[in-house]
Structure 1
Amino acid sequence: MKHSVLQKVFIVSLSLMLIVISVGFGTGQKASANSDSQKRTLKVLYWNAEAFNKTYGESFSKVYPDIDIQVVTPGGMGAITNYGALITKHSPDLVMLDPYNYKQLAKENKLVDLDSLIKRDKYDTTTLYPGLLDELKKQGGGQLYGLSPTVESYALLYNVDLFKKHKVKLPSDGMTWAEILKLAGQFPTKGDKNSRIWGLSSFGSSNLVMDIARTEGLTYLDPNTLKATANSTAWKNAYRSSIEATKSGVLDEGITLSAKSYLESSPFIMGRSAMTVAPISRLKSLQSAKNGVKNYKPFTLGMVAGPADPKDRKSTGSARVPEILAIPANATNVDAAWDFIKYFLGDDFAKEYYKSNSSAVDAPLSRMVKEYAGYKLDAFYKLRPNFDSSISSYVLMNKSQNLELDFRSILSRELKLAMDKKKTLDQAAASIQKSTQIVVDKLKKVQQTK
């Protein structure tokens, strides 16, 4: 069976955690709540038993040997989509959900409200990412039905030394993409690409458009009506910002240098780019450069929360969660499931995750570990994630694995025509809208004939 794009993304996010498990966690054993001399069974619904054991089961069993984990799989290798039916059929005690299915199951009252367990155990949530807790409650209709061990969050990293040298005002928390690009435009744009200064590290104009869209919660299709929405004012602003930034030469566009390592090829890591929007793994890369690149010249690193959604500067659509741990309403062993959730939300897991995972993209939800690779992490936790656009993307991906790939192809083609002055911005936007709708209409016809 061929993996869908959604499935590949899902597997990649899981693989980022495997390094943690291979190193191993602490061997201190704990007794679960209300434990007795007999093992209790924790039935987990997951897409693949082996993947679950490597990602979760092995480490949890070392700390809670009195809980016997039974993994129930729906068969095949694909991500689970029919959670409701599978929960009814298998009666699991624990499920791992994407934001879409979390919202749906919460709406159908099929999950345990975790607030009751939190109050019962006087569980301290003050060390957890507050913005993510708020978003999980919002998507749960006001109740907290699940928690995520990690979050894929980003921050705006910047080279303080370059800002001071070129007398540019330092970035601040909650900046939008438009403001970030305006700052980037204040740096020099002349010189050889192998040695010049860049305002912002990015991976090309079409990728920048998608980054802006994700931050601002934009979708190229209405997931309910399947009508193209890529010709709105917000989308055209994203196109315009990307085109202007690319034409002005402020983006390094992910250049690579021949015969150079990844670290030496990165303008930001090597101190030649003023800013980059990055996950916590970039902090580890900076540390690696200090220790592994000959004659490396460290620079003063600054970090602020961003980019933010201009509609709400305290939120961003860029932050995402790989999995939300939740307990079905008909679970038999609620306490065992709750112990599982608390462990992966806890400080022991977070410390080992930071210590062992050199390529971590996701940040653990616990904030008890104040630093990673020698840098403070506050900027990664300041903005509230907004899952609305990722939920829409999930719906569209399930309608067809090729929709976003087709849209990106259309986007790349039309942006190039606009940059080459073969089309105006309005003409390119109209073409993106029309071409996207044609793709969707063909898809609907194909599906209707099946």
Structure 2
Amino acid sequence: MSNASANLEWYNATDFGKEIKAKFPNVKINFIATGKGMTPQDLVVSGQQIDLIISSIFSFPLLAETNLLYDMSELIKKNNYDINRLEPYAVEYQKQFGSGGIYGFPISNAPVALFYNKDIFDKFGVAYPKDGMTWDEAYELARKLTRMDNGTSYYGFSTRYPFMYNVNQLSLSYYDPKAQKVLVSDDKFRLFMENFTRFASIPGNEKATTDMFSKEKNVAMMAYQFGKWDFDSWDMVSLPYFKEAPGIGPQVYPTYMNISSTSKHKELAFEILKALTTDDYQMRISKAGTLPSVRNPEIIKAFGEAGDPANGKNYKGKNVGAFFPAKRANASFVTKYDDIVAKRINTAFTDIAAGKKDSNTALREVQEASTAEIQSVKK
């Protein structure tokens, strides 16, 4: 489609707008940020025109509820777009959400790994983590490095449980929409919960947070996504594996760009999605330190080459291969009932870590209470 003059309403804006302005100079973009009074429901009720939506997969249930999701399958076919060039796990993730439709293109991915502070390992004479470790090996390192030294508390490990569930390596789901069943009381979910609650149960480590890794710099290891850090004595290794799932890396955590069902400029919006997934653009963001959404080996290999120190993304000399596991976990189900389960799981996590409840009891209670609430919502 030619670069026709048009106004595009863009919900939840990011830096991608710079590329669009460069490639489509005749297109005027109106950015609508998320916030109070600016939720998808609010915008639908107000009649606000929306053409493009930036989201994660976990926004899809809400977008579906407000009828903003649009299956692009016909546009993909009409434009002869090769969907196989995109990160396959990110494409399959959204297919699993609905009835096999394509509701958006992944335009970037989150860099997930086990980060570590070399200064802490050096201080206590402990060998650095390695690629291919198991969670059991990471746990032993965390125990060694959780200590008090000259009045300073050092923490062996930090993470955020909700995020680790979102990228979980066991392909766990809170709810199975096909079987219409809550799934948190089986052995695999107990294994997953006990893996992370044990880190929080290490005496002295219970106060560790991911912010401490970059601010106080007193956390030895952090399982999370890359952030903007003002020190250089860090590196990373692949996210540890479950011995029950050897070699399986985290699920993808992509950022999607979706065409809104309300858009009056769907063809032009699709042209923009094509522009943001070209090899040229993906190569540039990959070199600057943003995980690409395409599977081109040369683009993946170029990750972090140029760096972007102004934005805290300088990977020079770092083990960037940790971001690219040979095999990723299959996608979990994402449903509109997940929040009902998640709020109870988060409480259960805290109770298990604090020793208030054993994992079998806590997860059984979550299963029962979540099932009851979901049934009441369905009525």
Aligning the two structures, in what range does the TM-score lie when normalised by the shorter sequence? 0.5 to 0.7
Q: CA deviation at 1:383?
A: 5.4
Matched AA of 1:219: S
State whether structure 2 residue 238 is matched by structure 1 residue 305: yes
Q: 1:69 to 1:145 in 2, by over 3 A?
A: same
Q: CA deviation at 1:154?
A: 1.0
Q: How does 1:107-186 map to 2 (within 5 A)?
A: 109-110=73-74, 112-113=76-77, 116-117=80-81, 133-139=87-93, 147-163=105-121, 166=124, 168-185=126-143
Q: 1:58 to 1:190 in 2, by over 3 A?
A: closer
Partner of 1:436: 367
CA contact (8 A) 1:208 1:242 kept: no
Q: Distance in 2 between matches of 1:334 and 1:50?
A: 15
Q: CA deviation at 1:60?
A: 1.4
Matched AA of 2:80: S
CA contact (8 A) 1:97 1:326 kept: no
Matched AA of 2:117: N
Q: Distance in 1 between matches of 2:184 and 2:76?
A: 38
Partner of 1:274: 220
Matched AA of 1:60: I
TM-score, normalised to structure 1's length?
A: 0.57
Partner of 1:61: 21
CA contact (8 A) 2:118 2:235 kept: yes
| The 10-residue stretch of structure 1 (134-143 or 371-380) with the greater mean CA deviation from structure 2 | 134-143
Partner of 2:11: 51
Q: Distance in 2 between matches of 1:61 and 1:55?
A: 11
Structure with greater strand percent: 2
CA contact (8 A) 1:113 1:143 kept: no
CA contact (8 A) 1:136 1:144 kept: no
CA contact (8 A) 2:72 2:102 kept: no
Partner of 1:381: 324
Match of 1:229 among 177, 180, 183: 183
Q: Distance in 2 between matches of 1:51 and 1:106?
A: 15
Q: CA deviation at 1:118?
A: 5.0
Over residues 158-200 of structure 1, what are the superposed CA-to-partner deviations in whole Å (9 max), with x where a residue is unaligned?
2345445655443333444333223323x24442695143322
Q: CA deviation at 1:226?
A: 4.5
Q: 1:385 to 1:50 in 2, by over 3 A?
A: same
Q: Distance in 2 between matches of 1:308 and 1:176?
A: 5
CA contact (8 A) 2:108 2:291 kept: yes
Q: Distance in 2 between matches of 1:138 and 1:178?
A: 30
Question: SS at the partner of 1:112?
Answer: helix
Matched AA of 1:171: P
Aligned residues: 341
Q: CA deviation at 1:441?
A: 0.9
Q: Distance in 1 between matches of 2:183 and 2:102?
A: 32
Q: 1:159 to 1:221 in 2, by over 3 A?
A: same
Over residues 264-311 of structure 1, what are the superposed CA-to-partner deviations in whole Å (9 max), with x where a residue is unaligned?
xx2566554321123221xx31xx24xxxxxxxx63x33122144652
Partner of 1:395: 336
TM-score, normalised to structure 2's length?
A: 0.66
Q: 1:224 to 1:162 in 2, by over 3 A?
A: same
Q: CA deviation at 1:95?
A: 6.7
Question: SS at the partner of 1:149?
Answer: strand
Q: CA deviation at 1:148?
A: 1.7
Q: Structure 1, unaligned stretches of length 5 or more?
A: 1-32, 81-89, 126-131, 257-261, 290-297
Q: Structure 2, unaligned stretches of length 5 or more?
A: 42-48, 294-298
Over residues 371-418 of structure 1, what are the superposed CA-to-partner deviations in whole Å (9 max), with x where a residue is unaligned?
3533244322345554622x43x4324xxx4442133224423543xx
Q: CA deviation at 1:321?
A: 1.6
Question: SS at the partner of 1:413?
Answer: helix
Q: Distance in 2 between matches of 1:238 and 1:311?
A: 11
Q: 1:55 to 1:202 in 2, by over 3 A?
A: closer
Identity %: 17
Q: Distance in 1 between matches of 2:278 and 2:221?
A: 31
Q: 1:70 to 1:51 in 2, by over 3 A?
A: closer
Q: How does 1:316-395 map to 2 (within 5 A)?
A: 316-317=250-251, 319-325=252-258, 334=267, 337-343=270-276, 363=291, 365=293, 367=300, 368=302, 369-370=304-305, 371-372=307-308, 373-375=313-315, 376=318, 377-382=320-325, 385-386=328-329, 388-389=331-332, 391-392=333-334, 394-395=335-336
Give 1 or 2 for the bigger CA radius of gyration: 1
Q: CA deviation at 1:234?
A: 2.0
Q: CA deviation at 1:215?
A: 3.6
